[in-house]
């Protein structure tokens, strides 16, 4: 849930360089993945590897789709595709390109192009469809849209990926076929980093002003209390809605219920301020995306900027971002299963939301990937009578289901230290 940006959107087209791609792949293989920002020491690739290689050797167009559990996903996917003998273009959030001109140039040379993940980005959609239609490179998309730092749980997919697959196949008019390749990612700890996670949590508690950090033998309670403290502080500073922001004494279920209620009130007020329709039956994450898309449209219109005022627009943007961050805490991810992997992820998520920057892994990791059964767009469209409106939601649900099943299977096969319950590990 990091690095949301409300700067005016601009499209960055891909400009792939075979030399840059080749050199970067080797650097990624031998140095980047193993470096301090990723610390991947082992790679486990399983599933329909041979099936993908057969598709590679045909005239098929391949669209790779994966969950987005960590900041190492693009690097991991690059290594997987190197092993498969495949070169892929990546759809990436536009804020990555805006970090610097040098970064934008490098990303474009790698074959990446930008996307406004919360708006109707026609240029990005056209670029994605054209990439598959031309067939010189395959395409990779992470349909969750953001990094949620939840290795074990797939969050709802955006429909854009399925729309791209459908339209790209239709544009080929029988000359070739689009296949969607679902891949499940899982990163797991190789070392017992419980003490290191506790130290990171301790620094966070100190920097945030929390003074109750005492007992490392009860990490669930400590994570909950530090999280309550940070959220309470943020809500008091960043919102102007009425509500009880004192979470002391609440159960985990009570905390989730209150956070969901606060998120609903936040987004409802923003919808009112922006004259957007309110519908409580719409998934709240989609409502937040709609608000952020509208804010971006306003920033591009000088008349609307003058109407709302720059300060108010910035304030609304901050509240929309806060809403996104709150929703990541609604699900009882760590309480549900207190493994070392989930402990480290939850603390890192708290740190990222407090400091607004990513944190490198604390220990060596194993990266696991399972390739699921490829999906034939021809078959899906034939069965739906060629109806795009039928295929898009069905494909979205199918991909989400297959990738979650792959994650579950990787967890069942995982023997690394990260899968251990923290109560069984020495601190």
Give the whole-angstrom CA distance, residue 419 versus residue 423: 12
Q: Is-contact 249 225, C-beta < 8 A?
A: no
25 vs 298, higher pLDDT: 25
Inform me whether the pLDDT recorded for 1 exceeds 60. Answer: no
Q: Domains of the chain (ranges plus CATH)? A: 18-191+363-424 (3.40.1130.10), 194-355 (no CATH)
Inform me whether the pLDDT recorded for 332 exceeds 90. Answer: no
Q: Is-contact 212 230, C-beta < 8 A?
A: no
Q: What is the pLDDT confidence band of residue 263, given thresholds at 50, 70 and 90?
A: confident
Q: Which helix (H) or strand (E) holds 187?
A: strand 178-189
Q: What is the pLDDT confidence band of residue 162, given thresholds at 50, 70 and 90?
A: very high
Three-class secondary structure of residue 352 per DSSP: helix
Q: What is the pLDDT confidence band of residue 192, given thresholds at 50, 70 and 90?
A: very high
Across 154-176, average pLDDT: 92
Closest by CA to 90, choosing from 71, 122, 115, 120, is 115
> pLDDT tens, 204-224?
999 988 887 776 777 877 887
Scan for tokens 């970067």, then name that residue. Answer: 24
Give the whole-angstrom CA distance, residue 205 versus residue 425: 22
Q: Which of 36-45, 234-243, 284-293 shows the lowest per-residue confidence on average (mean pLDDT)? A: 234-243
Q: What is the pLDDT confidence band of residue 36, given thresholds at 50, 70 and 90?
A: very high
Q: Which of 103-112, 213-222, 366-375 shows the lowest per-residue confidence on average (mean pLDDT)? A: 213-222
Q: What is the pLDDT confidence band of residue 7, given thresholds at 50, 70 and 90?
A: low
Q: Which of 45-49, 324-328, 400-404, 407-411 shows the lowest per-residue confidence on average (mean pLDDT)? A: 324-328
Q: What is the pLDDT confidence band of residue 261, given thresholds at 50, 70 and 90?
A: confident
Q: Which of 91-95, 238-242, 354-358 shows the lowest per-residue confidence on average (mean pLDDT)? A: 238-242
What integer pLDDT is reported at residue 44 of this predicted model? Answer: 97
Q: Which alpha helices (DSSP H) does 215-339 contain, by range?
A: 219-238, 252-273, 284-299, 302-308, 310-327, 333-336
Across 365-391, average pLDDT: 96
Give the whole-angstrom CA distance, residue 397 versus residue 417: 32
Share of the chain above pLDDT 70, in %: 92
Across 408-418, average pLDDT: 97
Inform me whether the pLDDT recorded for 399 exceeds 60. Answer: yes
Inform me whether the pLDDT recorded for 2 exceeds 50. Answer: no
pTM passes above 0.85 = yes
What integer pLDDT is reported at residue 243 of this predicted model? Answer: 62
Inform me whether the pLDDT recorded for 6 exceeds 60. Answer: no
What integer pLDDT is reported at residue 378 of this predicted model? Answer: 96
What integer pLDDT is reported at residue 76 of this predicted model? Answer: 98
What integer pLDDT is reported at residue 3 of this predicted model? Answer: 44
Q: Which two tokens stand for residue 188?
A: 């797991």
Inform me whether the pLDDT recorded for 119 exceeds 70. Answer: no
Q: Which of 52-56, 152-156, 218-222, 351-355 shows the lowest per-residue confidence on average (mean pLDDT)? A: 218-222
Instruction: Count the Cβ atoms, other than its own, within 10 Å of residue 170.
Output: 17
């Amino acid at each position: 849930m990091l690095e949301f940006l409300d700067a005016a959107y601009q499209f960055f087209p891909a400009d792939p360089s075979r030399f840059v791609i080749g050199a970067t792949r080797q650097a990624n293989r031998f140095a980047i993945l193993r470096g301090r920002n990723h610390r991947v020491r082992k790679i486990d690739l399983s599933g329909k590897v041979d099936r993908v290689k057969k598709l590679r050797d045909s005239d098929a167009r391949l669209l790779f789709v994966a969950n987005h559990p960590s900041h190492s996903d693009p690097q991991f996917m690059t290594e997987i595709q190197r092993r498969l003998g495949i070169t892929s273009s990546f759809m990436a959030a536009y804020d990555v390109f805006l970090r610097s001109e040098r970064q934008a140039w490098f990303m474009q040379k790698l074959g990446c192009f930008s996307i406004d993940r919360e708006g109707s980005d026609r240029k990005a959609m056209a670029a994605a469809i054209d990439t598959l239609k031309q067939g010189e490179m395959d395409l990779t998309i992470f349909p969750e849209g953001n990094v949620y730092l939840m290795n074990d749980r797939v969050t709802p997919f955006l429909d854009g990926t399925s729309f791209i697959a459908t339209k790209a196949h239709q544009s080929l008019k029988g000359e070739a076929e689009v296949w969607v390749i679902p891949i499940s990612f899982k990163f797991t700890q190789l070392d017992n980093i419980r003490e290191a996670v506790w130290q990171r949590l301790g620094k966070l508690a100190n920097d945030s002003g929390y003074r109750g950090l005492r007992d490392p033998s009860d990490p669930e309670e400590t994570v909950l209390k530090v999280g309550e403290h940070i959220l309470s502080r943020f809500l008091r500073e960043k919102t102007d809605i009425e509500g009880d922001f004192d979470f002391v004494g609440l159960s985990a279920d009570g905390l989730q219920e209150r956070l969901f209620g606060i998120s609903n009130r936040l987004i409802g007020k923003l919808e009112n301020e922006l004259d957007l329709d309110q519908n409580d039956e719409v998934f709240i994450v989609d409502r937040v995306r709609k608000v952020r898309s509208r804010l971006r449209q306003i920033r591009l219109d000088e008349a609307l900027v003058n109407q709302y005022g720059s300060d108010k627009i910035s304030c609304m943007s901050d509240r929309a971002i806060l809403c996104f961050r709150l929703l990541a805490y609604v699900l009882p991810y760590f309480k549900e299963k207190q493994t070392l992997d989930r402990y480290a992820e939850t603390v890192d998520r708290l740190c990222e939301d407090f400091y607004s920057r990513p944190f490198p892994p604390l220990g060596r990791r194993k990266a696991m990937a399972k390739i699921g059964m490829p999906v034939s767009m021809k078959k899906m469209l034939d069965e739906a009578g060629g109806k795009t409106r039928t295929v898009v939601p069905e494909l979205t649900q199918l991909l989400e289901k297959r990738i979650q099943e792959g994650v579950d299977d990787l967890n069942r096969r995982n023997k690394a230290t990260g899968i251990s319950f923290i109560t069984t590990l020495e601190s």
